[in-house]
Amino acid sequence: MNAAGRRVLVGRIVGLYGVQGWVKLESWTEPRAQIFNYLPWQLSGAPGGEMKTEGVKGRPQGKGLIAKLPGVDDRDGAAALVGQEIYVARELLPPPGKDEYYWVDLEGLEVVTTEGVALGRVSHLFATGANDVVVVRDGERERLVPFVQGVYVRSVDLSGGRMVVDWDPEF
Protein backbone atom coordinates (compact mmCIF):
# COMPACT_ATOMS: atom_id res chain seq x y z
CA MET A 1 0.00 0.00 0.00
CA ASN A 2 1.24 3.44 -0.82
CA ALA A 3 1.39 5.85 2.12
CA ALA A 4 1.50 8.95 -0.10
CA GLY A 5 -1.44 11.20 0.57
CA ARG A 6 -2.44 9.38 3.77
CA ARG A 7 -2.76 11.26 7.04
CA VAL A 8 -2.04 10.16 10.58
CA LEU A 9 -3.82 11.44 13.68
CA VAL A 10 -1.10 12.66 16.07
CA GLY A 11 -2.95 14.82 18.58
CA ARG A 12 -5.78 17.11 19.54
CA ILE A 13 -6.23 20.69 20.73
CA VAL A 14 -7.73 20.32 24.20
CA GLY A 15 -7.76 23.74 25.84
CA LEU A 16 -6.62 27.32 26.10
CA TYR A 17 -3.44 28.73 27.59
CA GLY A 18 -3.29 32.43 28.41
CA VAL A 19 -4.82 35.29 26.44
CA GLN A 20 -2.46 35.55 23.45
CA GLY A 21 -3.85 32.67 21.38
CA TRP A 22 -1.88 29.73 22.82
CA VAL A 23 -3.61 26.34 23.03
CA LYS A 24 -3.06 23.20 25.11
CA LEU A 25 -2.37 19.99 23.21
CA GLU A 26 -2.80 16.29 23.72
CA SER A 27 -0.06 14.51 21.74
CA TRP A 28 0.09 10.83 20.80
CA THR A 29 3.64 10.99 19.45
CA GLU A 30 6.53 9.42 21.33
CA PRO A 31 8.01 11.44 22.90
CA ARG A 32 5.00 13.73 23.02
CA ALA A 33 6.92 16.91 22.10
CA GLN A 34 7.85 15.19 18.81
CA ILE A 35 4.52 16.49 17.48
CA PHE A 36 6.27 19.83 16.81
CA ASN A 37 8.71 18.13 14.41
CA TYR A 38 5.91 16.93 12.11
CA LEU A 39 4.76 20.01 10.24
CA PRO A 40 2.58 21.18 8.62
CA TRP A 41 -0.46 20.14 10.61
CA GLN A 42 -3.89 19.60 9.11
CA LEU A 43 -6.65 20.47 11.58
CA SER A 44 -9.96 18.70 11.12
CA GLY A 45 -13.22 20.39 11.93
CA ALA A 46 -11.72 23.87 11.67
CA PRO A 47 -14.24 26.70 11.24
CA GLY A 48 -14.92 26.79 7.51
CA GLY A 49 -13.51 23.29 6.96
CA GLU A 50 -10.05 21.80 7.30
CA MET A 51 -7.14 24.11 7.99
CA LYS A 52 -3.47 23.61 7.12
CA THR A 53 -1.09 25.18 9.62
CA GLU A 54 2.56 25.94 8.98
CA GLY A 55 4.92 27.72 11.35
CA VAL A 56 3.44 26.28 14.55
CA LYS A 57 5.53 27.03 17.62
CA GLY A 58 5.25 24.98 20.78
CA ARG A 59 6.84 23.74 23.94
CA PRO A 60 6.29 21.62 27.03
CA GLN A 61 4.45 23.49 29.77
CA GLY A 62 4.02 21.79 33.14
CA LYS A 63 2.75 18.26 32.49
CA GLY A 64 1.43 19.10 29.02
CA LEU A 65 2.23 20.86 25.76
CA ILE A 66 1.23 24.28 24.48
CA ALA A 67 1.30 25.65 20.95
CA LYS A 68 0.93 28.95 19.13
CA LEU A 69 -0.62 28.68 15.68
CA PRO A 70 0.04 31.40 13.11
CA GLY A 71 -2.81 33.88 12.76
CA VAL A 72 -4.32 32.97 16.13
CA ASP A 73 -3.52 35.95 18.31
CA ASP A 74 -6.18 36.02 21.02
CA ARG A 75 -8.15 33.80 23.35
CA ASP A 76 -11.28 33.89 21.16
CA GLY A 77 -9.36 32.69 18.10
CA ALA A 78 -7.78 29.91 20.15
CA ALA A 79 -11.15 28.92 21.65
CA ALA A 80 -12.48 28.22 18.13
CA LEU A 81 -9.79 25.55 17.72
CA VAL A 82 -10.47 23.54 20.89
CA GLY A 83 -11.49 19.98 20.06
CA GLN A 84 -9.82 19.91 16.65
CA GLU A 85 -7.78 16.87 15.74
CA ILE A 86 -4.22 17.29 14.45
CA TYR A 87 -3.17 15.22 11.44
CA VAL A 88 0.16 15.05 9.62
CA ALA A 89 1.15 13.52 6.31
CA ARG A 90 2.17 9.88 6.73
CA GLU A 91 5.43 10.44 4.86
CA LEU A 92 6.62 12.86 7.59
CA LEU A 93 6.78 10.05 10.16
CA PRO A 94 9.88 7.90 10.62
CA PRO A 95 9.81 4.35 9.28
CA PRO A 96 8.39 1.88 11.83
CA GLY A 97 10.71 -0.65 13.45
CA LYS A 98 10.79 -4.35 12.68
CA ASP A 99 7.34 -5.91 13.21
CA GLU A 100 5.88 -2.46 13.99
CA TYR A 101 3.19 -0.79 11.91
CA TYR A 102 1.37 2.50 11.76
CA TRP A 103 -2.35 1.81 11.95
CA VAL A 104 -2.97 3.91 8.86
CA ASP A 105 -0.73 1.53 6.88
CA LEU A 106 -2.83 -1.47 7.93
CA GLU A 107 -6.18 0.10 7.03
CA GLY A 108 -7.54 -1.30 3.79
CA LEU A 109 -5.45 -4.49 3.80
CA GLU A 110 -7.21 -7.65 2.64
CA VAL A 111 -7.52 -10.10 5.54
CA VAL A 112 -7.44 -13.87 4.93
CA THR A 113 -7.20 -16.84 7.25
CA THR A 114 -4.25 -19.21 7.28
CA GLU A 115 -6.49 -21.54 5.22
CA GLY A 116 -7.03 -18.83 2.59
CA VAL A 117 -10.61 -17.85 3.54
CA ALA A 118 -11.22 -14.15 2.80
CA LEU A 119 -12.58 -12.29 5.85
CA GLY A 120 -12.75 -8.79 4.39
CA ARG A 121 -10.61 -5.69 4.75
CA VAL A 122 -9.15 -3.85 7.72
CA SER A 123 -11.59 -1.04 8.47
CA HIS A 124 -9.70 0.40 11.44
CA LEU A 125 -7.97 -0.54 14.68
CA PHE A 126 -8.51 0.40 18.29
CA ALA A 127 -6.53 -0.01 21.48
CA THR A 128 -7.59 -2.00 24.52
CA GLY A 129 -5.75 -2.47 27.78
CA ALA A 130 -4.35 -5.81 26.65
CA ASN A 131 -3.66 -5.35 22.92
CA ASP A 132 -4.78 -3.55 19.79
CA VAL A 133 -7.77 -4.94 17.89
CA VAL A 134 -8.18 -5.10 14.10
CA VAL A 135 -11.72 -4.42 12.86
CA VAL A 136 -12.29 -6.49 9.69
CA ARG A 137 -15.37 -5.80 7.56
CA ASP A 138 -16.63 -7.67 4.52
CA GLY A 139 -19.90 -5.79 3.93
CA GLU A 140 -21.99 -8.42 5.69
CA ARG A 141 -20.17 -8.80 8.97
CA GLU A 142 -17.62 -7.26 11.21
CA ARG A 143 -14.95 -9.29 12.98
CA LEU A 144 -12.71 -8.14 15.82
CA VAL A 145 -9.30 -9.83 15.65
CA PRO A 146 -6.70 -9.20 18.38
CA PHE A 147 -3.55 -7.74 16.82
CA VAL A 148 -1.19 -10.20 18.49
CA GLN A 149 1.61 -11.08 16.10
CA GLY A 150 2.61 -14.72 16.00
CA VAL A 151 -0.64 -15.80 17.67
CA TYR A 152 -3.57 -14.36 15.67
CA VAL A 153 -1.74 -12.19 13.14
CA ARG A 154 0.57 -14.52 11.24
CA SER A 155 1.87 -12.12 8.60
CA VAL A 156 1.49 -8.61 7.27
CA ASP A 157 2.46 -7.84 3.68
CA LEU A 158 2.06 -4.09 3.16
CA SER A 159 3.35 -4.13 -0.41
CA GLY A 160 1.03 -7.03 -1.28
CA GLY A 161 -1.90 -5.48 0.59
CA ARG A 162 -2.62 -8.56 2.70
CA MET A 163 -2.76 -9.68 6.32
CA VAL A 164 -2.94 -13.40 7.19
CA VAL A 165 -4.65 -14.30 10.47
CA ASP A 166 -5.23 -17.49 12.41
CA TRP A 167 -8.93 -16.90 13.01
CA ASP A 168 -12.11 -18.96 12.72
CA PRO A 169 -14.20 -17.45 9.88
CA GLU A 170 -17.36 -18.31 11.82
CA PHE A 171 -16.29 -16.31 14.86
Looking at the fold, whether 86 and 14 belong to one and the same domain comes out as yes
Looking at the fold, whether 54 and 83 belong to one and the same domain comes out as yes
Looking at the fold, whether 84 and 113 belong to one and the same domain comes out as no
How far apart CA 155 and CA 164 sit, in angstroms, is 5
Measured in degrees and rounded to the nearest 5, phi and psi for residue 90 equal -55, -40
Q: What is the pLDDT of residues 40-53, one digit of tens each?
A: 999 997 566 688 99
Looking at the fold, whether 85 and 109 belong to one and the same domain comes out as no
Which residue, of 57, 91, 125, is where some domain finishes? 91
**Terminal CA-CA length for the chain:** 27
Strands, DSSP E only, in 22-91? 22-27, 41-44, 51-53, 57-61, 64-68, 85-89
User: Is residue 46 situated within a structural domain?
Assistant: yes
Looking at the fold, whether 83 and 117 belong to one and the same domain comes out as no
Cβ distance 94 to 10 under 8 Å?
A: no
User: Is residue 96 situated within a structural domain?
Assistant: no
Segments forming the whole domain that contains residue 124: 103-165
- Mean pLDDT (the chain) is 93
Q: Residues 18-29: what's their mean pLDDT?
A: 96
Q: What is the pLDDT of residues 55-74, one digit of tens each?
A: 999 999 999 999 999 999 99
Looking at the fold, whether 114 and 147 belong to one and the same domain comes out as yes
Quick check: 153 pLDDT over 90?
A: yes
**By three-state DSSP, how is residue 157 classified?**
strand
Q: Is the pTM of this model over 0.75?
A: yes
